[in-house]
Amino acid sequence: MVTQAGPTEQAIWEVLRTINDPELPIAITDLGLIREVEVEGARVRVTMVPTFSACPAIGVIRQDIRAQVLTLPGVEEVEVELSFAEPWTMKRMTERGREQLRQHGLSVPPRLGGGEVTCPFCGSTNTTLENPFGTTLCRAIYYCRDCKNPIERFRSPSD
Ligand SMILES: [Zn+2]
């Protein structure tokens, strides 16, 4: 009897690294959304740290994870759990993720709880809040008084 080898944790992580956040131009792993991957035979459990409880993207991400991980050979069941034990903070985001957000003109707060908003186009901090709701629940729109560009800022839960 041949026992089919289950997937490795590493293979799961590799798949997760290819899944982008539906609202941000970076991978969910760079966003720091994944806390843990557990493999038990053909069963995979992925534990996610939700960024914003109100963010509708969470449901989409869960579906993406399930669908993508299920394509791996040897995977029969995928559970995606949300962990609220330790809240997501900007610290969970990788340097690569921050850099990618900056390249897309999204201002990233230096740490949880804000600080001033730096214009990603000219570096000015002479910015003003234009629309706290932005294009999605995850973003707020600021306006740069120096270069006159609108700035989308990635919201942290305490903003
Ligand atoms: Zn500017």
Same domain for 72 and 16: yes
Among 40, 37, 31, residue whose Cα is nearest residue 13: 37
Cβ(110)–Cβ(124) under 8 Å?
Answer: no
Count CB atoms within 10 A of the CB of residue 97. Answer: 22
Average pLDDT of span 21-29: 85
Q: Domain residues for 119?
A: 105-154
Predicted confidence at residue 1, as pLDDT, reads 46
Convert the pLDDT of each residue in 109-151 to its tens digit. Answer: 554 445 678 888 888 889 888 876 665 656 778 889 999 988 8
Ligand 1 centroid to Cα of residue 150, in Å, is 8
Where does a domain end: 47, 82, 117?
82
CA distance linking residue 74 with residue 7, whole number of Å: 6
Same domain for 75 and 13: yes
Ligand 1 centroid to Cα of residue 146, in Å, is 5
Where does a domain end: 37, 67, 82?
82
Ligand 1 centroid to Cα of residue 129, in Å, is 13
Mean model confidence pLDDT for the chain: 81
Domain count for the chain, please give it. 2
This prediction has a pTM of 0.68
Ligand 1 centroid to Cα of residue 71, in Å, is 44
Ligand 1 centroid to Cα of residue 105, in Å, is 10
